[in-house]
Chain A
């Protein structure tokens, strides 16, 4: 059946609510309106306003309220309206959601899901397009997942709601309404498993969320240049699947990590470091990163310059030292000139 990620997420919420009456869905405009992206469409009508409801406009309040509900034995799923509007909740997330289990030696757990529509490419104005995954991934105690396919959107969200730990569920906005064939009743891979979306022999592209379609498109385009590229979809940033990633890079010997977020101290940097540590002797070239620029997310008319697209990925692939020559960009000035 052809459907969209938005509909898959909606189905996952509905199925989880039907399966477990402890699941509550709340946030800003999620009730009657069904959310600004319609992810909660129809849930209030079907399950009533005690199970799906609007809250006051206060993100720390929403997340802190969820902490209390979880302490009482419920399983809250909260929506942050946009990436940058989750920042007011950061103290609750970093100091309580992430730490309560550890702090209480497991006596309390916080099985809550914080859904965050994130990233750009939708022509959104300021504060609506941040890629905020690194903040969460850097915080021990949180799981951070991000689907790139319709199937995964359904499956990962069901998994997130069932998970005994808090999950920050990052939804790539630009993929919400792309449609694909999907069988929503099935589960895909569990948390902690990356997936090879496209096998290839020459180099590995590692991507997650909104960058997976970019990687796949780049791999397709690379065929014309004679490169056979493998694409790995990380799916769950935390827990991270070193095994799948490492196995792929050991096979191909070359690796480009792609992320839409600004690059400095980002998730891509972590992945590149891990690959380098684990695959050094299998590598024929340094691990390269393709990311957004280290700038605040730009205004809509400039976002195409910021976003890492197919060309930028292919440029990186071209720099993977196919002729065994070092990358001139990183040589000291004297040697590069010679």
Chain B
């Protein structure tokens, strides 16, 4: 089995004459044939690039901190499934550079459109972890206030959020606001029609959206080769007139640099931008999945050597920006964070059957009022029986 991200052939000199990008003549429409990478897997810096300047070191330290906390949160959430505290949990272990990098690239006023995979990204954005886990605990479908947090509900119907992001971004621009929408999507979901409709709408209406594909190489069990014959998912932008880039999704510095530029591109009024990050999900699809049925341990081991946290830690240590003390402090913070999640998730959530009728419509229909009364009576009867 191949273990490295898909190597895309270097473009021949002829192929380098790429179609011009009408939105931004300074950059071509086709992505670079190679994923952008600023650190090699050992954390050694690669030659600097003028198009992707390295983010400020303070930001990189923050990136490191959030990735460590994010991973600890993720491990804790997986543990909570074993204790029956969560109905299900889709881990993003291994994808920390993408999950956290994306959240550092956007402003608090920007909108984020997550999938079910983005729990880590959302806690990294500062959302309450318990509210992030509400969907997966099963006490309601969305635990946070999307309007207040400018974060759409975690989206399960694949790719449908891509169109919402286009509409939201266009609507914000229409009302004179400079909001950017960042939509997450997985590699498998790029085969869904709504990915294409979303990116096409965003392009036609010049909506400021960043489509961020985390290509973790599998859609549950189905490998990327069954999703596309394209040389890279980033190439899907060109057909819609949308510029794109590939990035090494386990290189936190590169992910942040590429997404920062993509967000700037969108905010400057150039329309959408597509980023494909080559990464890998280290855990099964969810805790309920058995990944040994479709991939072998050697493949997973090879990706362990590309760990994004190890890579950034090494780089920052080499630069003298991180020492044992700082690393220990971050680890302690992550432990405390996980302990808090554990403790708060141990409390049994209260659910109110009568709340089922509250938000179907702004005002319940007469039929819902009738059904509510029926449930009221059932509850009262059950209570009386319990008392007796």
Contact = CB atoms under 8 A, between A and B. Distances in A.
Interface stretch (B26-34, B158-166, B372-380): B158-166
A108 B146 contact: yes
Contact of A73 (B162, B165, B175): B175
A140 interface: yes
B366 A239 contact: yes
A239 B200 CA distance: 36
A74 B163 contact: no
B174 interface: yes
A92 B160 contact: yes
Contact of B204 (A56, A71, A100, A109): A56
Interface footprint category on B: 35 or more
Nearest to A98: B360
Contacts of A239: 361, 365-367
A164 B201 CA distance: 25
A103 interface: yes
Given A58-B201, A101-B360, A69 B367 contact: no
A69 to B, nearest CB: 4
Interface in A43-70: 50, 55-56, 58, 60-61, 63-70
A288 B201 CA distance: 47
Interface in B172-204: 172, 174-175, 179, 181, 193-194, 197-198, 200-201, 204
B362 A240 contact: no
A109 B362 contact: yes
Contacts of B201: 55-56, 58, 61, 64-65
B145 interface: yes
B167 A60 contact: no
**Which DSSP category, helix, strand, loop or mixed, fits chain A's interface?**
mixed
Contacts of B362: 101, 106, 109, 164-165
A241 to B, nearest CB: 8
A68 B194 contact: no
Given A92-B163, A109-B362, A64 B146 contact: no
B304 to A, nearest CB: 37
A56 B366 contact: no
Contacts of B366: 192, 239-243
A50 B148 CA distance: 27
Contacts of A103: 140-142, 153
A69 B170 CA distance: 7
A72 B111 CA distance: 10
Q: Nearest 10 CB-CB pairs, A to B? A: A68-B167, A64-B163, A72-B171, A61-B197, A68-B168, A65-B167, A239-B365, A164-B362, A69-B171, A68-B164
Given A58-B197, A64-B167, A242-B366, 14 more contacts: A56-B201, A58-B201, A61-B201, A72-B174, A74-B175, A88-B193, A101-B359, A101-B361, A104-B359, A105-B140, A106-B359, A107-B147, A141-B360, A164-B362
8 contacts: A56-B200, A60-B163, A67-B164, A68-B165, A69-B168, A70-B167, A100-B153, A102-B360
